[in-house]
Structure 1
């Protein structure tokens, strides 16, 4: 015997997925300007109130489109075997990021082109979380020269800036060396060739220990929080 509520929820999910798929195609072919509520509703064969009911508002629809379009990229990044060298893994992640942006300019602009303090698309948040994981692996190996957050913000800023700079150029003028030089410069700015913990001083040791702190199960959550604050202060003092 079927459950009416389950059937209704399944129907909403199918309708939502269909609308998002249609909107993603409109985005790819016509850019963000093509994603008016009226245009999406017409292309999906539905009514504008349905879109508002399923997504709340246009921003909710845009977030859903960004997640949909970015999910395959995230799956590709997750499926790629991590490099044995965490710094090489970061370089590979940079190349994937830039390649994705150049291949999907409208989607990339939707995710990163209209920054608002305190608000990011869920897809952008997921991407930044993965970047943070790569940075943490470098810190755990003792090869990070600056704090994790600063390193992640720097890589993110340089990577997005590189993509938008290349997108602003005609395709025949896009020099791939721009991305390579920017990648190598940022990598050199935040990492060391040898484990930084071999260098005397508390700051580098604090960075490495900070990266491994979530695995310190012998401590309570409160103790890890306090120790994390102390380690952050030590690391910041050394990178000032």
Structure 2
């Protein structure tokens, strides 16, 4: 009851008063603070409750044959949710709550799952973890801009333009003839994802797989210099 009354107040007024919430829910403030710790705890609980419907639909959705289709649908549903629930969205992504809602962690996990599937198909040029951070940052940045400065973005096509630009920097399909360094990163990303998605290959021990993963990670993020620290003695010889 407390979360429902707080959610209604947030949607109506754009903010929450613990006193007003208690009056609407028919409880005393000590009860509220005993349940949620403080106002930040209540706000985090409200954000998680509002986001639950959105995330539950994503949890229940079956993967399609094309993870890029799923990724694109996720981008658009994220923006749509932000516009439909501006106050809860800004609480999650536009404030520094001392109590972090669990919704942000789950949203990132669901996004990363789609990118891992792309990596398994050899279609991602960087690691799924890094790609998820980039996509989430771009998606939330765009959504907050639409909420806070709508007059600066009158054309709704800005969402699709932003999405296309971000995906172009991440997807192999957008770079049919990658440079050698990029090709190595793509191959390493694909192999790491394939190994992570399958059972441990019988030909490798757990220690060997850890070492292999470390080597592949270096191909994903090549050094800025052509000289590797371990090669210095060879050039001096």
TM-score scaled by structure 2? 0.81
Q: CA deviation at 1:134?
A: 1.0
Quote the Cα distance in structure 2 between the aligned partners of 1:62 and 1:74: 18
Q: Report the number of matched residues.
A: 219
Aligned to 1:113: 94
Aligned to 2:234: none
Does the C-alpha gap of structure 1 residues 228 and 65 become closer, same or farther in structure 2, counting only changes over 3 Å?
farther
TM-score scaled by structure 1? 0.80
**Conserved? CA contact 2:172–2:186, under 8 Å:** no
**Conserved? CA contact 2:44–2:99, under 8 Å:** no
Q: Aligned pair 1:79/2:60, yes or no?
A: yes
Where 1:234 maps in the other structure, the secondary structure is: helix
Aligned to 1:133: 113
**Conserved? CA contact 2:126–2:185, under 8 Å:** no
**Cα shift readout 1:110-148 (whole Å, capped 9, x = no counterpart):** 1111147x9742111111111111111111111111222
Aligned to 1:60: 41
Q: Aligned pair 1:70/2:51, yes or no?
A: yes
Question: 100-109 vs 223-232, which deviates more?
Answer: 223-232
**Conserved? CA contact 1:147–1:236, under 8 Å:** no
Mapping for residues 17-166 of structure 1, pairs under 5 Å: 18-31=1-14, 33=15, 35-115=16-96, 120-166=100-146
Which structure 2 segments of 5+ residues have no match?
226-237
Which has more helix, going by share of residues? 1
**Conserved? CA contact 2:22–2:32, under 8 Å:** yes
Quote the Cα distance in structure 2 between the aligned partners of 1:170 and 1:202: 42
Quote the Cα distance in structure 1 between the aligned partners of 2:134 and 2:164: 13
Does the C-alpha gap of structure 1 residues 215 and 145 become closer, same or farther in structure 2, counting only changes over 3 Å?
closer
Structure 1 segments, 4+ long, off by >6 Å, are: none
**Conserved? CA contact 1:145–1:192, under 8 Å:** yes
Q: CA deviation at 1:72?
A: 0.5
Quote the Cα distance in structure 2 between the aligned partners of 1:195 and 1:64: 43
Does the C-alpha gap of structure 1 residues 84 and 188 become closer, same or farther in structure 2, counting only changes over 3 Å?
same
